[in-house]
Amino acid sequence: MCGAELTPLPEGVQRVARLLQEQGHPHPPVMLDDAARTAQQAADALGITLGQIAKSIIFRRKADDAAVLVVTSGDRRVDEKKVEALAGLGGKLGRADAQFVKARTGYSIGGVSPVAHAQPPVTLIDRELLRFDEIWAAAGHPHAVFKLRPQDLERLTGAPVADVVQDPAA
């Protein structure tokens, strides 16, 4: 890639593609025909299991207004109490509205990538993603995704792997 290939892509996808290229990641973003705003839509479009979708959930840390990104398996629900305990400052988390998400990440809800954020968030990776050899994450736009391994996600984000989801029996 010389960079010219990135021009027709939406700006957010270009940012993700540049970072992946700079980091030597072997799988560039791909554009889907249909939007994949939800984990289920992405799984259906890719023909994979729901759990293989690495969904990016943004919270707002109330103590300092920082963005907290939880990258979780598509078939799991985030446990906010666990994330609060891990996200630092002993503070509470709040919901992040669309304006907050766009301002902090540079992405719209439904296309939030785990990488190449406008402002680096506090990031946690769901250990449930380690169940899979291959996962897919949003690439900065509701129509864009990229393939990776859970270990790639750790390398690309520098984030710790943690127990951040509700117990399945709960």
- Domain edges within the chain: 4-162
Element (H, E) at 43: helix 39-46
* Per-residue pLDDT tens digits for 53-91: 999 999 999 989 999 999 999 999 999 999 999 987 667
Banded model confidence at residue 35, pLDDT cuts 50, 70, 90:
confident
Residues facing residue 53 across a β-bridge = 136
What pLDDT does 4 receive? 47
Q: Is 166 helix (H, G, I), strand (E, B) or coil?
A: coil
Question: Which residues have C-beta within 8 Å of that of residue 131, sequence separation ≥ 6?
Answer: 51, 73
Task: Quote the CA–CA distance of 46 and 74 in Å, as a whole number.
Answer: 13
**Token representation of residue 141:** 């736009």
Where does 4-162 sit in CATH, by number? 3.90.960.10
Closest CA to 65 of 112, 103, 33: 103
22-40 mean pLDDT: 93
Closest CA to 12 of 95, 114, 97, 96: 114
